[in-house]
Structure 1
């Protein structure tokens, strides 16, 4: 259970802050929802409290864990499939886990691939989404600005 003011990570959307916990009646049942403000994407989402574990909502990393994320960015690239469709699906699945280290690995691999051979439009969009997820958590965990988080990510790949 999260409280108002807690910073959380929401897979496929990034990190945000719980701004409200609300009860609503849906199909005759009373359900509780987290209202989450996602500052990086300028979105506001409602997450059912009862399903938050199932969808992978978790507390963000602490400041001390940032170095581990930077280490992943600096590690060797993973071997990726030559088939862009398979590569896209594998990377999307990694993002869906909500694991910050998996997300960092996707960003690292796609940035390096893009430097060698330009990514397809779909993979560029996936890279943008992965960077948004990663950088939004770094912003909240490290008290960084968006520009600082982006520079930190780019300089460690």
Structure 2
């Protein structure tokens, strides 16, 4: 269980802060809920504590994990079906981003970057790539103590070097 003040990653929004833990009435039941501040969106949400795992909310990774991701960005191959079947690609990437797994997040960025080399990305793919990059950048900024521009440049350099 998270505590007030914890910095966490909410897969759809990036780095967030647990502002409070309160009891809220949800559908007639009293539930313990996290009040999560999402700085990127300038909003707060209330999430039942027992739903946090299923929403992929997790602690931030450490600096070594970020380095592992950056140095091994293109080490694995992309499933060829990602290039051939748009529906498969979209559904798989939605599951990956919702999982909160930073390694799956890297796969989204890697695979859509590779896909972009062969074809112009559609709106859904472009939004997914941008969202995955922003979520990764927000975590890298927090973990490594970087400014937004520095984190963007590091990710852009990795993507460009391996494209």
Structure 1 length-normalised TM: 0.89
- Give the SS at the match of 1:67: helix
Measure how far apart 1:76 and its partner are: 4.2
**RMSD of the TM alignment (CA)?**
1.8
> 1:135·1:146 contact (CA, 8 Å) conserved in 2?
yes
- Give the SS at the match of 1:73: coil
Query: Which residue number corresponds to residue 54 of structure 1?
Result: 54
Higher relative contact order (CA 8 A, sep 6+): 1
Measure how far apart 1:96 and its partner are: 1.8
Uncovered stretches (5+) of structure 2, i.e. residues with no partner: none
Runs of 4 or more off by more than 4 Å in structure 1?
none
Deviations 1:4-43 (A, max 9, x none): 1111112222221111212212233221211112223434
Which of 109, 112, 134 is equivalent to 1:110? 112
Measure how far apart 1:77 and its partner are: 4.2
> 2:7·2:15 contact (CA, 8 Å) conserved in 1?
yes
Uncovered stretches (5+) of structure 1, i.e. residues with no partner: none
Aligned residues: 157
> 1:80·1:87 contact (CA, 8 Å) conserved in 2?
no
Matches of 2:43 and 2:118 in 1, distance apart? 33
> 2:37·2:44 contact (CA, 8 Å) conserved in 1?
yes
> 1:72·1:105 contact (CA, 8 Å) conserved in 2?
no
- Give the SS at the match of 1:86: helix
